[in-house]
Structure 1
Amino acid sequence: MSRLIPGNQKHLTLDDRLYIERALNEGLSFKDISKFLCKDPTTISKEVRLHRIQNNWNRGSFNNPYNFCVHRFRCKKTNACDKIILCDTLCRSCHKCNTVCSRFEKEACRRLDKAPYVCNGCRKKRNLCSIPTKYDYNAHAAQRTYEQLRSDSRAGVNRTRSQMHGIDAIVTPLIQQGQSPYIILTNHPELDMSVKTLYNYIDQGYLLTRNIDLKRKARFKPRKCHKTQISNREIFQGRSYLDFLALDLPSSAFAEMDTVLSAKGSLKCILTMYFPDTQLFLAHLMNRCTPGAVRLVFEQLQRSLGGTYEFISVFPVLLTDRGKEFGDPDCLEIAPDGMQRTSIYYCDPMRSNQKGGIENIHTMLRMILPKGTVFESLTGWEIRKIVNHINSAPRANLNGKTPYELGLKKYGPDILRALQLKPIPPDDVTLSPKLLKK
């Protein structure tokens, strides 16, 4: 068995194709390209021949046609079209020459019939080349063709027509009897599919039954597509919720973080933090919901607390969701002086219960800022006012104490003063929109 070259079992990427294009322009052979990319030379050859683009040049004009015959320079033939009136003009200068001459032999380029199969790297200038059909390799065009082919190959149903008829013969009558897809698949394991797959078959019209025949699906609205999630999955390596659980931290050793968005009409948002052991709540107004705005809040907190070590003592570990505003963890974890000031971990997708404390405290925030509120006119002073009233409300699970009292006992007055927290008298605590009208 021959030894496998590292990486030769993977698809070519855009960077690989860009290198192939540059190497072809420099005149490198397929063997040299394959050594650099750790691929087989036949892979490079197939890639170039499959994705080369045909360009037709030198079409000429009616009065000045291009002649593509190999004999055009020495040919003295006249009247090849057999006109009744003899023509003294040489046929090689006529636009009909290539179509009517019996001795026509189209000129071809050996470069296109064997490696590299394209005009990339050819020393002959295009405007001096008489070959009518040229081929070029373009990395971006090749990548688009590859992605379209990959998408098309995965479309449709991976079953034969007879198999789909057999599935429909079982599913459709049972759906008409009022059974759900889960009941059908439980009683018919021979169908060998998941419940989600059967729902997809019905939704996409591969079966005779339709969504309207299902008991509950027709009553549900289509789910909204969340486009605010982090697209770069590499940052979750070592920062997933399982990695967070592996730390086995007590509730006093981490804080939860999230954002509250404004209604349409403002780009402002509120960055919130929550300490599970004391239920202390922090909030900061941001003009944009971006990683840069979150970083500015972190640096402001670090300056207020007095330095990196003080920041670590208050925020050693942060657990948050996968919103795009938290998509640059390295920038948030590393202080301007180069020291690591915190560690960030991410919950699983669509699992807000993994940080249920901060989601629960948001209900108190929404008592003052109901959904539909536009944050455009909000100020930092009003946010601090809201935070102080929330932290001054007693909690039953804290034995009637307030988060501010427990936070004062844990961190001391200096830290709370740096966080701009202060107590509110019990009878003055307001948890309604009236708070911002006073």
Structure 2
Amino acid sequence: MSNEDLCKGKHLKIEDRLIIEYGLDENYTLKEIAERVKKDPTTISKEIKRNRFLKSSKRKENNLQSCKHRKSCTKTNLCNSSCGNQCKKCRFINCYRTCNEYLIKKCTKLNRYPYVCNSCSTVTTCTDEKSYYKAKVADTKYKELLVTSREGLNITSNELKKIDELISPLILKGQSISHIFTHHKDELNCCERTLYYYFDKNAFAARNIDLPRKVKYKPRKKSTLPVIKESTDRVGRTFNDFVKFIEDNPSIPIIEMDTVHGTRSGKVLLTFMFRNCSLMLAFIIDNCSQTAVKDTLDKLYEVLGHEVFKRSFPVILTDNGSEFKNPETLELDTEGNQRTKIFYCNPMASYQKPHVEKNHEYIRYIIPKGKSFDDRNQEDITLMMNHINSTARASLNGNTPFKLAQMLLDVSMLDKLSLKHIHADEVHLKPALFNK
């Protein structure tokens, strides 16, 4: 199917009208404009003639400069009876106000394409009434036409009266619209839903209250799309800002942050995933709140120190969970020093931080979904993460996240967080790990 077929039957948009205006300004042919808009030339021609607007010369008050009879005019004495000069030579008379034969001179070029004066070379000196096409004016007229075309009833008064004479007496007998429509479908010449619309507009002698069941039901609520309020916390921290920041800083490490829930009101795991080596950290917190997340980052910052933390966690990408709001408290330490930079994924776009989402499955191997974390402490979680980080990955060419972390991350961070390598044959990824 060609582009012209796809555009067929579609209304012109403001973008199309801007192309038309540009084409008229640049003196394009009708065919050239039609090809750019992907419409038939006839459609473009009708659009220009329908939405052009007239503009008289600003100099029309000076004698007969805009009058159709300017050259042949011989009138005199329009200003007073004693004046013998021809009016067209008088500088003190406005012919369009005093002469009953005054007619605005219209350019004959407006009768054929381009129908407007947009690209006319004599537009500055011409005194004729001018016609122009402007995209914004045309689009405004189009929208006004859409509104007015949907106002009122699309039916003549005689047709409405005929339907009223048929339907109102039957309604007053207690018959339903459905019953009447079934037996008088050919006479009504409209659909059943339209009859209800006419009743809502009080177009008949009978009213809604005369309908057997209509008044028993409340009007249906119109479904409205939820209004998404853009949080000020996301200003400068959106995913697009993140992409631009990474383009400007291609070698900077990226950490993805998320939470893993046990039961609905129980303890939660706060997880961090290093993209460059797939090392994952997890910290158990009492609840999924902003305070708990901030306290965890503060403790991590205190353990690692300013330099190690800033070097290890320069950029954190997370989702729009309520626990991650108020990013300034996460980005700054207690003295107001910048320790990291927070960015947010787009709403409902968890695929933008795929590494941490994917690696949560290793946690579920050991602590199945729905299982509470309440009977676990940080030592248990660190043990679990050591086994997970010691698991060889095909995506890492057979290496483990821990071994890559030793090469790519600060080794002192691994030591301070008690991260250890587990021998390959001793790796355990089952719930029985905590029974050892």
TM class, shorter-chain normalised? 0.3 to 0.5
TM-score (norm 2): 0.47
TM-score (norm 1): 0.47
- Select the structure of larger CA radius of gyration: 2
